[in-house]
């Protein structure tokens, strides 16, 4: 090579898996794509091929026979476990859980007039699957971790996905969530009864139900028990929210806690924005979800911008109170004002088991990274 030019580097994205064209791509490298609204509302469990994809780095290629999960850190004996050992030495456990990107619905912040940084998600970076694997608690107990060990406050996850310099994706969760017998945190090797797809963490991922998707680390390589949170960029300098008065010039990242459980949210999946309604009633469909295991107890819908409300009918999977990891789908057919033609605003808002509900507008919850957008979802339609 002449003149000291660098050798051409092989494209780290050369081995990405195939994806369905139905997914709406927000970035190609890394792949980030959301599920179309009408497909989300079609079934409580999202088919694997339609599950939203949120990758931070190239998809790593992992040989399942050579794969080892490493457990290390404070309060534990270092352990290495093969996939076979995980599957045979620990009890199999299954949960139905919704995962959601903290940036889901981010574009609604952009439409307030104050632009935020991040992938321009509409409401489709959320999906639900039946995950099967072993409990993180069982694996940590096998490594010798004791309940309420005062040295251990966080469980860190390290992915096998890495940048060109070898730095890997990482995140951590609270040890209380990891160790709670009712926390249901999994190390999952199956998704909807199939091996994990490459885009979703093959051969093993964390599934932290009720918590922001970014903590459910995919292609899981290492688990570290620690007194400290993960030192990753994504744990400490991203995936936090501030008040609307905080912007890039005055943000103190240490002043807010890392997002773990996410707030209650809901979305109208049908009709679409700008749809034409030619009837004296309208059928509205959507999803509703809350973090922290808080199941959805009610969805209210309005055809007059929120002045009057109707109850939607909920479709749910059976879940115990406090362990409501999966979303509810909902549907309502509501009357339109007699003889009305012109534009109407359809609105939905959800209430969870703690009776938390959604704020009305996005502007008062605007935040520089555009996360946790959970204001009332509003869809303008035209009645003819």
Residues that bind Mo ion (CB under 5 A): 101-102, 213-214
Per DSSP, the three-state class of 364 is helix
Q: Quick one: tokens of 210? A: 């009720």
Q: Check binding of 349 to a copy of itself (CB under 8 A).
A: yes
State the Cα–Cα distance between residues 257 and 235, nearest whole angstrom: 9
* Residue 179: its H or E element: helix 175-179
- When the beta carbons of 23 and 208 are compared against a copy of itself, the nearer one is 208
CB of 143 to a copy of itself, least distance (A): 20
Q: Check binding of 151 to a copy of itself (CB under 8 A).
A: no
CB of 318 to a copy of itself, least distance (A): 13
Kindly write out the interface string for residues 287-306 of this chain, putting x where it contacts a copy of itself by CB under 8 A and - elsewhere: ----xx-x--xx-x-----x
State the Cα–Cα distance between residues 292 and 329, nearest whole angstrom: 18
- When the beta carbons of 122 and 138 are compared against Mo ion, the nearer one is 122
- When the beta carbons of 87 and 323 are compared against a copy of itself, the nearer one is 323
Q: Check binding of 311 to a copy of itself (CB under 8 A).
A: yes
**Is there a contact between 7 and 19 (Cβ–Cβ < 8 Å)?**
no
Near a copy of itself by CB under 8 A, which window of 124-132, 160-168, 201-209, 320-328? 320-328
User: Quick one: what does residue 214 bind among a copy of itself, Mo ion, none, with the CB cut-off 5 to 8 Å set by partner type?
Assistant: Mo ion
- When the beta carbons of 159 and 213 are compared against Mo ion, the nearer one is 213
**Is there a contact between 344 and 313 (Cβ–Cβ < 8 Å)?**
no
* Residue 268: its H or E element: strand 265-270
Q: Quick one: tokens of 320? A: 């115990």
* Residue 140: its H or E element: helix 136-142
Spell out a b/e string for 162-184, using b for 16 or more CB atoms within 10 Å of the CB, else e.
Answer: beeeeebbbbbbbbebbbeeebb
Site residues for a copy of itself, window 191-230 (CB under 8 A)? none
Q: Check binding of 64 to a copy of itself (CB under 8 A).
A: no
Q: Check binding of 113 to a copy of itself (CB under 8 A).
A: no
- When the beta carbons of 105 and 285 are compared against Mo ion, the nearer one is 105
Q: Check binding of 174 to a copy of itself (CB under 8 A).
A: yes
The half-sphere exposure of 303 on its side-chain side, counting CA atoms within 13 A, is 25
Q: Going by C-beta distance under 8 Å and a sequence separation of 6 or more, which residues neighbour residue 257?
A: 240
Bridge-based pairing of strands 276-277 and 377-383 is parallel
State the Cα–Cα distance between residues 221 and 169, nearest whole angstrom: 10
CB of 160 to a copy of itself, least distance (A): 28
Choose which of 241, 282, 362, 379 interacts with a copy of itself (CB under 8 A). 241
Q: Check binding of 315 to a copy of itself (CB under 8 A).
A: no
Near a copy of itself by CB under 8 A, which window of 50-58, 91-99, 214-222, 253-261? 253-261
**Is there a contact between 175 and 157 (Cβ–Cβ < 8 Å)?**
no
- When the beta carbons of 53 and 145 are compared against Mo ion, the nearer one is 53
Per DSSP, the three-state class of 236 is helix
Choose which of 73, 152, 358, 381 interacts with a copy of itself (CB under 8 A). 358
CB of 88 to a copy of itself, least distance (A): 24
Q: Check binding of 110 to a copy of itself (CB under 8 A).
A: no
Per DSSP, the three-state class of 94 is strand
What does the DSSP 8-state code read for residue 200? G
Residues that bind a copy of itself (CB under 8 A): 147-148, 174, 176-177, 180-182, 241-246, 256-257, 259-264, 291-292, 294, 297-298, 300, 306, 308-311, 320-322, 349, 351, 353-361, 364-365, 372
């Amino acid at each position: 090579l002449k003149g000291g030019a660098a050798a051409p580097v092989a494209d780290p994205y050369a081995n990405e898996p195939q994806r369905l064209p139905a997914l709406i791509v927000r970035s190609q490298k890394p792949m980030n794509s959301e599920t179309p609204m009408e497909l989300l509302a079609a079934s409580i469990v999202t088919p694997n091929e339609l599950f939203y994809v949120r990758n931070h780095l190239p998809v790593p290629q992992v040989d399942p026979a050579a794969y080892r999960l490493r457990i290390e850190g404070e309060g534990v004996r270092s352990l290495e476990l093969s996939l076979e050992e995980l599957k045979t030495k620990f009890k199999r456990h299954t949960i139905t859980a919704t995962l959601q990107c903290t940036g889901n619905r981010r574009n609604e912040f952009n439409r307030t007039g104050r632009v935020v940084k991040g992938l321009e998600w509409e409401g489709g970076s959320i999906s639900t699957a039946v995950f099967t694997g072993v409990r993180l608690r069982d694996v940590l107990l096998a490594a010798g971790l004791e309940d309420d060990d005062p040295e251990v406050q966080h469980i860190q996850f390290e992915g096998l996905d890495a940048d060109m310099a070898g730095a890997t994706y990482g995140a951590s969760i609270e040890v209380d969530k990891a160790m709670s017998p009712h926390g249901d945190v999994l190390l999952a090797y199956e998704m909807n009864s199939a091996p994990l797809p490459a885009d979703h963490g093959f051969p093993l991922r964390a599934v932290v139900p009720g918590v922001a998707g970014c903590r459910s680390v995919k292609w899981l390589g290492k688990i570290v028990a620690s007194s400290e949170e993960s030192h990753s960029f994504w744990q400490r300098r991203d995936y936090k929210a501030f008040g609307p008065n905080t912007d890039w010039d005055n943000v103190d990242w240490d002043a807010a806690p890392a997002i773990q459980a996410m707030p209650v949210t809901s979305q109208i999946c049908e009709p679409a924005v700008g749809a034409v309604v030619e009837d004296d009633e309208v059928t509205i469909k959507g999803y509703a979800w809350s973090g922290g295991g808080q199941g959805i107890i009610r969805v209210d819908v309005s055809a007059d911008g929120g002045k009057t409300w109707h109850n939607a009918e909920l479709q749910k999977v059976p879940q115990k109170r406090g362990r409501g990891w999966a979303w509810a789908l909902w549907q309502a057919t509501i009357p339109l004002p007699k003889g009305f033609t012109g534009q109407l605003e359809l609105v939905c808002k959800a209430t969870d088991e703690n009776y938390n509900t959604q704020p009305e507008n996005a502007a008062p919850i605007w935040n520089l990274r555009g996360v946790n957008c959970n204001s009332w979802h509003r869809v303008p339609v035209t009645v003819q």
